[in-house]
Structure 1
């Protein structure tokens, strides 16, 4: 007979549980950590911390209601970022429902049929671009099934299926030169011009995606030549639900062309017209509306698709407000500057390059607990921004240190929801994926170290 009471299996706490625990810790710290503040000055419209001006002040510990008021206030103060995430989700859902993304990917498969390297390279580039602009991130999960069909047709294994879909997506997400959820949020908090510094980020994107394609092909070529070299065994040749055939109509081409031109115009508008993250949120409504009209959706279909996209991102969007609540508690109690000062003391003795690399490592560790790009930006950037000012590091470098730290570890940490879901779809054990991914992860880190070092030495700006 089975035991009536079995020991419950331990589960990793949900991100919201972890953030609420951190919020409780922040409240407790308001009674322990001395209050203090830096002097600040405004230079060319940007408020900066003045190094060496920290002094203790009278404290203001958080009360019982302050805990819950901070949650409400965090949502209000983060409304612009929350609605950016929601509206972007709505727009991309409309594009995805039109069939344009799936049709475009499968057309690329058919065009490169019989040319294994070019097929793997082209599919990887498409998913990497999707990750770089924020069109594909968590939504990559269902596309892993397409990766399985491709891998099966090529007589490869499920690791390749995950690599050319999930892996490529997050290779692009690592840099995200036009990603509203990471770079957009981080630069807004750091008071850095939206999507500035794109040139160096595009170079990093090319390098990271390039080595990812090389690494994937190197493994795939070995398996093609000798199936016994597969870490998990090649996929069996058996019938599968789904196929490599899907329509790619003139409407689909028009939708993808419009979305690409619209995003390119937004970059132009931020540089030449001073558009902000609020403009971007509003512009996503326009992108979704026009894409739905081109797709032939009626007003009800368009509305429901947009709302479904928003609903899918509510979880990630509200994390921004909860993360902001933690900072509100610390700001109101005047302990945030004290924590920044405490972090700056050991880093002040380091060269700026090593300090920037320390920021990168710290954000990578933080991502284990907060595997949300926008949520982590809300926690990290208010700390990294004044820290960068004091250490003589540009805020642009601090933004990239955050982004590399957040992006890379999404591909190996088991707390990453998209990773674990993608592996589940493909039937790949996390241990096998980790073994396969670790050398590539090391190459990514090396590229990040070089890029951040160059950024510090060239005083990468603006700001």
Structure 2
């Protein structure tokens, strides 16, 4: 019998079990916390770590964790139910749009116009997603784009991995090289007690060099797959993926769009434009974004005279297609629930505090980067990790002659890198589930790029630390 790598659901549940087991052996402890007026949240106080009574997580806690992950807000990030519901609504919206045939016909026409120039979609789209990541921390909202881009990339002769990489790596490198991202850079800088513009030059360099590395990497893979489809890392799943995402009309050079289909595509595009505007300038989150997609779905149904029964059926069927993604989001958040309940998070932070004290500048900043990599695995939320770690880690930089802005850059770079593959990050597992890319295949695809990006980050941090 050949070994088959477990599904994302099993991987995440096994991580819950491992973290629960850790609560039986890792000493329990907490930092004292005070309310920060600038952050509007409680932050840990340096030097106040103390042991607390252990709260080891048992079998019952393990099985409760995926449920609690949906609705139980922990110390560092909100509950997952809003994200899960948004994903289901997106599924319903896409089901309604697909029913009109507008996407199929539109992709068919787009492929005719792009014939021979499809590869340039990759750098352009990755730049747009990187812009979203760098300016407003585009993450969960990017889940709305996968079902749109995957059929486009398949019709262009690529595979679903290319589509996933364009969005996940594009937005991810933007977060990794955040310039003014309020959920990472601004919160971390405030917690470190420095202006958020301090160190922006280095972050901009990391953003541009990282984006270039990602573009070259993805374009090389895309060209290889287009030339020899059997070299795709999901070649054995290609028939299943194409059956879901690719329609015959995608290959029809004579595909035409009716007036109603043109209107549907305009509404479709405007919905995403309004979503981006709402998130970036109006403070929208999942509830308002979900309401927007519901309203757009109803409008499209009315314009195309779909009928109440047909509309309801296609919306529910579309939501059902993304049900697995919604479940993954709750399970992933359950890992953090178990960790916090077992009082492990602050213990790991305290270990980092002890390790960093008094190290030389270059050793300090690279060790800081390594510790933030570890912390990011357990606390994938950039804002959550900033509030948790920066009040403790940033002051330690003063004793090693390192600027606090370098600590902020190390934090956000580490968090951004880990969240390109982190199984505890719902965006990663949700994206792979939508694209039908097994987790181990994604690791096989992305690990060389992770080494390249890490070399860029550590080299940049070291050069600046030496020149300080």
TM-score tier (shorter): 0.5 to 0.7
Partner of 2:118: 119
Partner of 1:372: none
The answer to which of 96-105 and 309-318 deviates more is: 96-105
SS in 2 for 1:323: helix
Cα offset, 1:289, TM superposition: 2.9
Where in structure 2 are there 5+ consecutive unaligned residues?
A: 73-78, 133-141, 176-180, 191-195, 233-246, 395-403
Cα deviation, 1:164-206, whole Å, max 9, x if unaligned, reads 64543444343477xxxxx99999x99x9xxx99x99999888
SS in 2 for 1:134: helix
When residues 161 and 334 of structure 1 are mapped into structure 2, their CA distance, relative to the original with a 3 A threshold, is: closer
Partner of 2:135: none
When residues 388 and 453 of structure 1 are mapped into structure 2, their CA distance, relative to the original with a 3 A threshold, is: farther
* Contact kept? 1:105, 1:126, Cα under 8 Å: no
Partner of 2:166: 168
* Contact kept? 1:125, 1:209, Cα under 8 Å: no
Aligned residue pairs, count: 394
* From 86, 89, 109, the counterpart of 1:87: 89
* Contact kept? 2:129, 2:174, Cα under 8 Å: no
- CA RMSD of superposed structures (Å): 5.2
Partner of 2:29: 36
Cα offset, 1:127, TM superposition: 8.2
Tell me, in whole angstroms, the C-alpha distance in 1 between the residues paired with 2:384 and 2:346: 10
Alignment of 1:149-298 (within 5 A): 165-175=163-173, 243-245=251-253, 246-270=255-279, 273-298=282-307
Cα offset, 1:55, TM superposition: 0.9
Cα deviation, 1:229-284, whole Å, max 9, x if unaligned, reads 99969xxxxxx966242334444443344344344434444465443333233333
Partner of 2:9: 16
SS in 1 for 2:42: strand
* From 15, 18, 27, the counterpart of 1:25: 18
* Contact kept? 1:124, 1:165, Cα under 8 Å: no
Pair 1:358-2:370 in alignment:
yes
SS in 1 for 2:53: coil
Partner of 2:418: 405
TM-score, normalised via structure 2 length? 0.63
SS in 1 for 2:330: helix
Tell me, in whole angstroms, the C-alpha distance in 2 between the residues paired with 1:70 and 1:222: 42
Tell me, in whole angstroms, the C-alpha distance in 1 between the residues paired with 2:42 and 2:103: 42
Partner of 2:49: 54
Tell me, in whole angstroms, the C-alpha distance in 1 between the residues paired with 2:422 and 2:334: 25
SS in 2 for 1:402: helix
When residues 214 and 109 of structure 1 are mapped into structure 2, their CA distance, relative to the original with a 3 A threshold, is: farther
Tell me, in whole angstroms, the C-alpha distance in 2 between the residues paired with 1:415 and 1:264: 22
Tell me, in whole angstroms, the C-alpha distance in 2 between the residues paired with 1:297 and 1:447: 52
* From 329, 333, 336, the counterpart of 2:345: 336
Cα offset, 1:72, TM superposition: 2.9
* Contact kept? 1:39, 1:50, Cα under 8 Å: yes
When residues 127 and 105 of structure 1 are mapped into structure 2, their CA distance, relative to the original with a 3 A threshold, is: farther
